[in-house]
Amino acid sequence: MKTTRTRRARSLLAVPALAAAVTLVLAGCGSRAGDSAEPTAAAESCIDTSGDTIKLGFLNSLTGGMAISEQTVSNVLHMAADEINADGGILGKQIEYVQEDGATDWPTFAEKTEKLLTQDCVAAIFGGWTSSSRKAVKPVVEENNGLFFYPVQYEGLESSPNIYYTGATTNQQIIPAMDYLAAQGVKTLFLAGSDYVFPRTANAIIKLYAAELGIEIVGEEYVPLDKDDWTTQVSKIVAADPDFVFNTINGSSNVGFIKAYYDAGLTPETTPIISVSIAEEEAPAMGHEVTGNYASWNYFQSLQTPNNPGFIERWKAYPDSSGVTSDPMEAAYISLYLYKALAEAAGSFDVDEINAAAAEGGITVDAPEGVVTLDGENHHISKPGNIGRINADNQFDIVWSSEGFIDPDPYLEGYDWFPADVRDALVAAAG
């Protein structure tokens, strides 16, 4: 409610600016209609920086299946915008955000991106969750030379001049998890995942690294994202009896998996699970059955860093809060501050100038997970690797941390066990 009121107040103050913006939109549309050879130029002139506000777009699924995850991202973006505005805005301009609903539908993500860039003339868009939504947005932001900030850990093997990635790529989440397992002396591993691009790609990488580490893969199972029934696959885990289960399952299906696992008599003492998608938000829905298992993330609510207590406190006090902080929402929180840092380094809201500032290097954000540094080339950020064990309060006791922050390497070019032909094949398969 608070956000709505302040946004309305700002809108009223910005009537002249809006009028100017409308004129610019009309001019932009006119020139585009007249000269279709230069759509980019029309789109660029569309961002209005004349008033005392700057328009940003938030694009999250507020309805449909992904709303269970993306609602929180939207809420934390609103909180970050309020914070930045209270602190004087970006380059002295107050953020005026346009919230759009991606509705768990990938063509809708593409349409809304187009609308935000060409009609609302936002300076940047923040949001998305699934890789499918990101891949729907990517061609549109590239064509219109817009900016998109993507806040979720993903399968890597991607970089775009128009996208900034504030979640982990594989070498900041999957590889630390494997390093942890190897350090514990794990010899056999079972892979369980949802059937879509992230788990398939992650498991391709896990299998290559496991061979390097001398860990044997004793099984690999996939279930469609929208199915909760894991009983047959769990029977296979019982039969294979692995040292550890690597879990790349996503969404509600994870609850079905954890329950089937518990029902079959498997426990963290006999067959522990390490997950890359169960965080503080997801764990409560799984009940006590999930307690004692592990997750690999960059951020945990239990992380002891200078900025984390304040972040947790502000989020808990926020009207639309979910009550707990978690990795993806922290990455979304970072994304808005990263944009602020970029715009201030560039001294401009212009996309090309922002990218030039990024390429110069040295852009950092003092985030709840620590001071993260932007890689100006691949547009990902450095992150700490952390492994947590779920306790009875559905919080994570941190049992392992990487030595320092891990630089992003979305194409795994620094890992010689990852062959170039596999990389090319995976990039081609991901489209």
Judged by the rule CB under 8 A, the positions of this chain that interact with other proteins are: 63, 65, 67-69, 71-72, 176, 179-180, 183-188, 195, 221-224, 226-233, 235-236, 238-239, 241-243, 252-256, 259-260, 263-265, 268-270, 272, 281-282, 284-288, 322, 385, 389, 399-403
Q: For residues 147 and 90, what is the distance between their CA atoms, to the nearest angstrom?
A: 16
- Please, which residue, 252 or 302, has the CB nearer to other proteins? 252
- If you count them, how many residues does the chain have? 431
Q: With respect to other proteins, which residue has the nearer C-beta, 293 or 308? A: 293
For residue 54, the cross-strand partners are 95
* Closest CB to other proteins among residues 113, 130: 130
Q: How far is the CB of 267 from other proteins (least distance, A)?
A: 10
Name the 3-class secondary structure at 168.
Answer: coil
Beta strands 53-60; 125-127: pairing state: parallel
CB of residue 294 vs other proteins: minimum separation in angstroms? 9
Residues 6+ away with beta carbon under 8 Å from 418? 205, 208, 209, 412
Least distance to other proteins, CB of residue 159, Å: 24
Between 295 and 363, CB nearer to other proteins: 295
Alpha-helical runs (H) found in 168-230 = 170-183, 197-213
The three-point CA angle 283-285-286 to 5° equals 70
Query: Which lies closer to other proteins via its Cβ, residue 51 or residue 176?
Result: 176
Closer to other proteins at the Cβ: 160 or 402?
Answer: 402
Give the C-alpha distances (Å, rounded to integers) separating 70 from 150, 275, 311.
12, 19, 19
Of 93 and 389, CB closest to other proteins: 389
CB of 167: closest distance to other proteins in angstroms? 18
* Nearest residue (CB) to other proteins, 66 versus 354: 66
Q: How far is the CB of 280 from other proteins (least distance, A)?
A: 10
| Residue whose C-alpha is closest to residue 90's, from 300, 364, 349, 358 | 349
Q: How many CB atoms lie within 10 A of CB 224?
A: 10
CB 216, min distance to other proteins, A: 9
Which residues have CB under 8 Å from 40's CB, separation 6+? 143, 144, 145
22, two tokens: 């409308």
As measured in angstroms, the least distance from the Cβ of 358 to other proteins is 28
Q: Is-contact 194 223, C-beta < 8 A? A: yes
CB contact at 8 A, 297 and 268: no
Enumerate residues 6+ apart whose C-beta is below 8 A from 406. Answer: 171, 172, 176, 382, 383, 384, 385
User: Tokens at residue 393, please?
Assistant: 């309060």
Closer to other proteins by CB, 15 or 399: give it.
399
Nearest distance, CB of residue 264 and other proteins, angstroms? 6
Order of strands across the sheet with 273-275?
216-223, 188-194, 244-248, 273-275, 294-297, 383-390, 396-406
Contact of 148 with 124, CB cutoff 8 Å: yes
Residue 247 identity: N
Angle between the N-to-C axes of helices 2-13 and 67-86, in degrees from 0 to 180, rounded to the nearest 10? 50
CB 174, min distance to other proteins, A: 13
Amino acid at 20: A
Shortest Å, Cβ 230 to other proteins? 8
Q: Toward other proteins, which CB reaches closer, 53 or 74? A: 74
